[in-house]
Amino acid sequence: MYSGTAGTGKSSFLAHFADAACNRGERVLFCAFEESPSQITRNMKSIGFDLEHWIKKDLLRIESVRPSQFGLDMHLIMIQKMVTAFKPKIVIMDPITSFSDHANATEVKRILMKLVDFLKSKGITAMFSSLTPSGTPIETSHVAISSLVDSWILLRDIESNGERNRGLYILKSRGMNHSNQVREFLITNTGVELIDVYSGAQGILTGGARLSMLAQEKASDIKAQEDIELRHLAVENKRNILDAKIAEMRAEFAAQEAANITLSSQEKLRSSQLSADKAAMRIMRGSDVGKLSTKRKGRSK
């Protein structure tokens, strides 16, 4: 069951459900108690659902009957006959609260209990919409059948910062885990679109406030990225300067090392030359001594 105040999008969700079922090849019986089939198909076409296409394929049947036309028991009999003849997998009733205008809550609950039991016995999935009157708690089922349904989704208006947005949350869903978040949704020209929850220091933001905060976060992310890139550039520049200094020091060291090698070679050459000169002088001196000895011997004779 979808419940909510007027304008929260209950019929749009029902149309979404019907379109998805028909896409799977399942038959859908849509019982409308406030709008005609032409109104429903026209309105749903504006949000991207071509229900007439499924009607022509005999996958969707829209039956429009005013609650005031018959008594509650006759409505029950008519729905049972339509289900038996059309054999749908899905039955949609929009809205069930229309019956409460012509009968008391006890009678409405009695008929709906019989209908739910009948549909369950046939293995048929039922989806109801329930209008919550303005000024009443949104978690109150106006026709008191909350205990009959397995899943109950609440649609609500979220008013903040001078604008009205739509939100939903799952009040209960028997036999399965489910989210406890309030989700913002948009009704677009392609159906219902769920918006990611934005929760920050200011709480849950919707609509323009959410977009504004997302824009601020995006700008902050861009600035942070730019700061990171600037820091990378600064580090790269320092690395280049350091590499240049290291290269300069290496060149200076290589020059000094080459000069040292040259000096060492020159010193070795000078030392070698000096040794050669000393050797030559010794040889020359040795020859002079020999000649002098020969002369002295000749004179003695």
Encode pLDDT of 47-65 as tens digits: 999 999 999 999 999 999 8
Instruction: Judge contact between 5 and 153, C-beta under 8 A.
Output: no
The Cα 92–Cα 15 span in angstroms is 9
Q: Estimate to the nearest angstrom the gap between the alpha carbon of 80 and the chain centroid.
A: 44
The Cα 186–Cα 103 span in angstroms is 35
Rounded to an integer, the average pLDDT of 7-22 is: 92
Instruction: Judge contact between 174 and 150, C-beta under 8 A.
Output: yes
The reply to whether 84 and 207 lie within a common domain is no
Looking at per-residue pLDDT, the higher value among 175 and 81 belongs to 81
pLDDT above 80: residue 111: yes
What is the identity of the amino acid at 165?
Answer: N
| Cβ count near 161 (within 10 Å) | 12
The Cα 2–Cα 16 span in angstroms is 12
- Token digits of residue 199: 């929760």
Lowest mean pLDDT among 24-28, 86-90, 129-133: 129-133
The Cα 44–Cα 191 span in angstroms is 9
| DSSP string computed for 139-202 | T--TTS-TTT-SEEEEEEEEEETTEEEEEEEEEEETTS------EEEEEETTEEEE---EEETT
Q: Estimate to the nearest angstrom the gap between the alpha carbon of 185 and the chain centroid.
A: 15
Q: Express as a percent the part of the chain with pLDDT over 70.
A: 83
Q: Is residue 295 part of a domain?
A: no
pLDDT at 184: 85
The length of the chain in residues reads 301
The reply to whether 153 and 231 lie within a common domain is no
The reply to whether 133 and 282 lie within a common domain is no
pLDDT at 125: 94
**Domain ranges, residue 147:** 2-196
Looking at per-residue pLDDT, the higher value among 213 and 228 belongs to 228
Q: For position 84, which CATH number holds? A: 3.40.50.300
Confidence of residue 41 (pLDDT cuts 50, 70, 90): very high
The Cα 18–Cα 32 span in angstroms is 13
pTM recorded for the entire structure:
0.65
The reply to whether 141 and 264 lie within a common domain is no
Rounded to an integer, the average pLDDT of 113-140 is: 83
Last residue of a domain, which of 164, 196, 228? 196
pLDDT above 80: residue 105: no
pLDDT above 90: residue 163: no
Encode pLDDT of 75-89 as tens digits: 899 999 999 999 999
Looking at per-residue pLDDT, the higher value among 301 and 105 belongs to 105
Q: Is residue 273 part of a domain?
A: yes
Rounded to an integer, the average pLDDT of 274-285 is: 78
Here the contacts of 185-193 (C-beta below 8 Å, separation 24 or greater) are 185/9, 187/9, 187/12, 187/47, 188/47, 188/48, 189/46, 189/47, 189/48, 190/47, 190/48, 191/12, 191/16, 191/19, 191/47, 191/48, 191/49, 192/9, 192/12, 192/13, 192/16, 192/47
Q: Is residue 27 part of a domain?
A: yes
The reply to whether 221 and 185 lie within a common domain is no
Q: Is residue 186 part of a domain?
A: yes
